[in-house]
Structure 1
Amino acid sequence: MKTILIVDDEQLARQHMRTQFPWADWGYTILDEAENGIEALELCRSVEPDIALLDITMPLMDGVELLHLLKQEFPRIRCIMLTAHRDFSFAQEAIRSGADGYILKSPIAADELRSALSKACEELDKTIRLTTTEQSYKSLVLNYQYPLRQKFFEDIQSSLLAQPEEIIARGKSLGIELVAPSYMVLECSVDELVLFEQRYPPKDRSLVEFSMLEIVRECAEADFPCGFELFPVSFGRFVLLLTGQQSTDRLLKENIVLFIRKLSNSLAQYLKLRLLITVSRPFSSIASLGSVYKEAIKYRIHHFYSDAAEPVFTDQALPFHAVPDKILLKLEERLEALILTQEEPVYEDWSSMTRHEFLLYKPEPQAALHWLESLEQLPAAGNAWHEPHPLKPLNLKYETSFLRALDAVIARFIDMRRQRLPSLQLRHELSAAIQYIKTHLSDELNAETIAFKVQLSPSYLGQLFKKEVGVSIVDYILEQRMEMAKHFLQTGQYRNYELASKVGFRSYSYFCTLFKKYTGITPNEYKHAHQPMVER
């Protein structure tokens, strides 16, 4: 049975609650009662109840203050507020502070009380399941000895373990089988690792890492024709060591490619991540593991021009070659022509041409990023708007994908144009429409309302807007709302459910659905990813 603590300053009210309801039939027992918040807090410290029924108006410490303290000290306890009609504003504050519900005291309706208790129990059971799951995961992590495997691999890298005999012996003591005629290293790193790390609070990262390693282990057990050992390196990075492979070099590489494709699908489905996998040359002595791993890391940069779940084989990676200046000049001229057009530019052809040339030559990644950043300095970029744009300079220094960097450049030119729409000499009706949209994002917005404000018919405004702005009114409103939501999430100005109404959504779940569709991640993930980074 779930236990209940009654907290009310009126003795008759406590007696009424204790005697007038069939607690045992409902599955509850009254653990104790208290006449004020201070007494209730002391009781919770000695006998922690499952549910607390808290009167809002009490002497010494009221129900709302007690609620705050219980949430801090005993987050497992579910709290239901008891209120009179005149206390409704306090009840609202309590709900915002984390109460699981509230019921009216005069009189307490049995069906409302039972319903509120049922909801509180659901939340309590959910908390218990999550806690149990977390404890089970931690137990599994220890059982599979991932931390010990990580330390073992670190000792090999630092040469604390250098001789084949001692490496094999130490591995055997940990259940790691390293006796084999040959080996290969798969050096694995999560793409966009910084963003992946920011997606999760520190307390959750061990469970996320364990989930990732288990997916890798299960896929390897199912699809590899040879033995393997798995070593974590750091959050988001690990090594898969292939042992005893008997296939020919060509067949083995084909098997590796097939395995990586299947693994990538699983990781994308369950953890929404992409791995960069670099495959070493075969080697015959386990003592070479540390040096072969370091060599594989150097080849990680060759993933820069890949857009699929394909590995980089160190013995097949070709040298980088600079793109000829005349080709770069031609690409710059084509881009300037697009920037200067009065219509909304279409960048697909230019993007395809640029992608083709860079994937053909594959220049040094830093040189490619430098050239992409320099496109903002083209004369046409300034002439098109007659003033410097207010956006921060594009910084691609840490980008690990050419295709993402190219998309970022195109998105930047589109953003620059849209932010400078008033200076593009739009018709005054369109300028007025844009201004109205930007100042009423929290209101109900539709084409009819906007058209009325600018004195045009809805159909004509829609056609005009699409032609001159480049997107439909509906898409433009959504874009502006999403950008405002991103700003609020970065600043932490509002709670998520408050933020939804601030940017014009009446349903928080619908807002979350559209936000994920627009950004690729949930509001919470975006918030975590854009929190200030702490130096470590």
Structure 2
Amino acid sequence: MIKVLIVDDDKLVRKGLASTMPWQDYDMKVVGEAKNGEKALEFMESNEIDLLFTDLAMPVMSGLELMRSVRELHPSVSIVVLTMHQDFEYIQDALRLGAIDYIAKVQMEMESFEEVLARVQKRMLDAKGKNDRHFMGEDSSEVLEIDEGYALISTVETDVMKRIIEEKGDLDYHPELIDEGVWLWLPTSEKDCKHILDKILIYDQKDNCDCRIIILNGLTGKNKNEIQKLLIEYKENRFFYDYHPEKKRIYLFVQDLESNTSLIDEEKITQLKEQWLTLTWVQQTSEFEKLLNEMKGLHLPKTRLVNLLYFLINEWIRIYNHVISKLELPVGMNSWYDVENWFYSIRDILNESMGNNLFSSDVQKSIMRAVRFIHEELACPVHASDIAKRVNMSRSYFSQCFKDLVGMTFNEYVRHVRVEKAKDYLVHTNKTVTWIAENTGYADDKYFSRIFRKKTGSLPSEYRKMNQKG
């Protein structure tokens, strides 16, 4: 006999479920009721149950909090979720916590009770069978006998899955939420394959649908848990790069997912940083597209990619603040498609800022190289004649071009960069004024202090007191 506990803050719902559902027909018996999660746990301390029916939205302790506690304290108890349609965002969390089914209250009609209990009973027996095989020393993971399965992966929150689940028909299958934004169907027959695929393809043409259908082949003989793990890894890494708004379906083979692990090429990342900072790609389309393809080919995890983009933004602003003062990452960067569009917008900004038709692209690149030299060699003596020679320009023409493109004379710009770097040292370090003077190119700290006060209106020590925090 399956012992059932019903938890809902609505007394009428509890009494209605207990009295109207044909529990005995499915070897079930309601042994208790509770009005919230806290009362349910108190009941379970002194009473053995096998099946928990719980609402999600309850006072004192919610259904999700109850499920987490039950998973820890009573792991053998099966859980069915009671919910309203508008609670769909919570259903995903509930399924992730191990709910074997859910019941929408607004669809609770007499003729559906038998179907609900039959489905719940079957899933409990299936789970028990797997556990029994596990205790007998067999692999508890299911070995798949069908070659094709389906997943739906979303880059953003969506209600598409809600609609698909509500219209699932009479097939005995249930889409599994295996991770945030990743749903998986693993059919048991060719008939189910066709039915499921037809159902999810309905949404293929929906407007503003950010879901992508994954058609996964090569499943026969594979371990179900391993397939779930591979799909989660795919969502976290490669899907970010495979997503494109015009590509609604993605075809994958299990073998491709299994061989998708690769080490991050740190040397290549260093090379790309250098190339992105030269700004050669601003004028040369071929170089720009080459850098984009090489960066995409690294398939960096999203967190690592974001860190790299932040590094580039900070360096571009630090080195080229005479032409760009503010750059930001795109809002809602959910795919490489978004990153690529962002790079195109950055290129347009730089082209517009640097697009002085009086100077060739070669001259602009030379001046940009000179600017980088200034930043990289700030602690050393920096002279216009030396820099001009290094960028293959005459001294006089270099000075003219530098002022026109940067907006300051060479010496003015050097002083500006040195003072800005000194400000940074004063605010974010406890280095002495003498050390800061030496490391921003001033051998005489008194001369440095005079220049600093002329530019900022205060001495270095005064500036530190006014701006340093902590």
Does the pair score TM above 0.5? Answer: no
| TM-score (ref. length: structure 2) | 0.36
| TM-score (ref. length: structure 1) | 0.32
Report which of the two structures shows the higher radius of gyration computed on alpha carbons: 2
